[in-house]
Amino acid sequence: MCGRTKCALSRERIRSTTGCNTWINEDAYNPSHNAGPAFNLPVIHITTDTSHNPVTVLHTMKWGLIPSFTKPTDKPDYYKMFNARSESIHEKPSFRRLIPTRRCLVITEGFYEWHKSNKNQPAKITSKKQPYFITFSNDKTTTSELMVFAGLYDTWKDGEGNIQYTVTILTTETSKRLQWLHDRMPVILRTKEEQDWWLYSKTTINNNNNNNNNNNNNNNGITSTTTNINGSSKLLSLSKLGPYNGDDLTWWPVTPAMGRADYQSEEASKPLERPSVKDFFKPRMTPSKRKKIEEEEKEEAEERKGAAPVMVREKDEEGGVHVGSAIKVEAVNTDEPLEMLKGMKTEEEEVRDGVDKERNQQLKEKKVQRSF
Q: Which residues are catalytically annotated?
A: 2, 113
Positive or negative: CA dihedral 27, 33, 39, 43 = positive
Q: How many CB atoms lie within 10 A of CB 157?
A: 14
Q: Which among 43, 44, 42, 63 has a CA at the least distance from the CA of 54?
A: 44
242 close to 189: Cβ distance less than 8 angstroms? no
Give the C-alpha separation, 58 to 106, whole Å.
10
| DSSP codes, 184-226 | EEE-B--SHHHHHHHHH--EEE-S-GGGGGG-TTEETTEEE-S
Q: Compute the distance between CA of residue 308 and CA of residue 311 in angstroms, rounded to an integer.
A: 8
Distances (CA, A) of 21 to 9, 27, 28, 43, 150: 16, 15, 17, 13, 21
d(CA 268, CA 34): 7
**Pairing label, strands 249-253, 218-219:** unpaired
